[in-house]
Amino acid sequence: MKKILEVTDLCKTYIINKRQNNVLRNVSFSVDEGEMVAVMGPSGSGKSTLLYTVSGMDRMTAGDVEFFGKNISKLKANELAELRLDEMGFIFQQMYMLKNLSVLDNIILPARQSKANTLSSKEKFEYGKELMRKLGIIEIADNDINEVSGGQLQRACICRSMINKPKMIFADEPTGALNRSSSNEVMDELCSINKEGTAIMLVTHDAKVAARCSRVLYIVDGNIKGEYNNTESDTRKRERALNNWLLEMGW
């Protein structure tokens, strides 16, 4: 398998009130092509910081992160911004969208901003609608964002993350604000996208969500304490096995 994300000795330190807070300490791991990796751990363990740092949303203090052969620690701010826009997709627990735009206009906005996306305006519009059909939300294309359910809005966020055909999607608690039914629907869509070849790295507190992933990294106090490969095909056995491992990790 080809490594698409390689993290080596990653450190992230914040200075708060003249004190050092070492959030990430010499973290190393990799993500292979087509993988779906979950990051779990106690609150404050560094999960979201890890996601933001390896995706270039936050600058690392030390170490190296290679994304498809590009060392993001060496990129300038504008180069990083272009990389995130053109080659990465992002989904968050808080479904950030512009209130003055329709759902569809929010979805295609990154395509309009991208210099690398060579589709015409009409083609971008049609591709946005194609993604909405695929995720079963085409009926809300012209709605304002306050006229749709949380599950629909999160699926719209998935569409937006896919609009520039990213090489990898980064998701921070993508189901955290949803009920179980909507959470299952969103994970169905993410698993479908992953099966089509897009790698995904997501942070979650939900063992049921993590059980849908091929691998789980468990982080404590800024260090990866353990790694678990989901090999069980039966859903219930898969969840039970992961839960047992999480208990061993101190979950």
CATH code at position 120? 3.40.50.300
DSSP category for residue 139: G
Cβ–Cβ under 8 Å, residues 134 and 181: no
Q: How many helices (H) and strands (E) does the chain have?
A: 8, 10
The identity of residue 36, as a single letter, is M
Range of the domain at 196: 3-249
Q: Which residues contact residue 20 at a Cβ distance below 8 angstroms, ignoring those fewer than 6 apart?
A: 13, 14
Name 132's Cβ contacts closer than 8 Å, sequence gap at least 6: 103, 104, 107, 138, 140, 141, 156, 159
Rounded to an integer, what distance in angstroms lies between the CA atom of residue 128 and that of residue 109? 10
Would you state the pLDDT for residue 203?
97
Residue-wise burial string across 124-156, b where 16 or more C-beta atoms lie within 10 A, e elsewhere = bbebbbebbebbebeebbebebeebeebbbbbb
Whole-angstrom distance, CA of residue 191 vs CA of residue 142: 27
> Which residues sit opposite 226 in a β-bridge?
218
Q: How far is CA 14 from the centre of its chain?
A: 23
pLDDT at 21: 83
The first and second tokens of residue 220, run together, are: 């404590």
d(CA 157, CA 151): 10
* pLDDT computed for residue 7 by the predictor: 97
Centre a 10 Å sphere on the Cβ of residue 157 and count the other Cβ atoms it contains. Answer: 24
What is the per-residue pLDDT for 82?
96
In a structure prediction context, what are the per-residue pLDDT tens digits for the chain, which is 251 residues long? 799 999 999 999 988 787 888 899 999 999 999 999 999 999 889 999 999 999 999 999 999 999 999 999 999 999 999 999 999 999 998 888 999 999 999 999 999 999 999 999 999 999 999 999 999 999 999 999 999 999 999 999 999 999 999 999 999 999 988 889 989 998 999 999 999 999 999 999 999 999 999 999 999 999 999 999 998 888 899 999 999 999 999 88
Count structural domains, the chain: 1
Are residues 217 and 37 in contact, defined by beta-carbon separation less than 8 angstroms?
A: yes
Q: Contact at 8 Å (CB) between 170 and 88?
A: yes
Q: What is the pTM (predicted TM-score) of this model?
A: 0.94
Q: What pLDDT is attached to residue 116?
A: 93
| Torsion angles phi and psi, residue 19, rounded to 5 | -115, 145
Q: Can you tell me the distance from the alpha carbon of 28 to that of 87, in angstroms, rounded to the nearest whole number?
A: 22
Residue 10: which residues within 8 A CB-CB, separation 6 or more?
A: 24, 26, 27, 28, 50, 53, 54, 60, 62, 63, 64, 65
Give residue 249's pLDDT.
Answer: 92
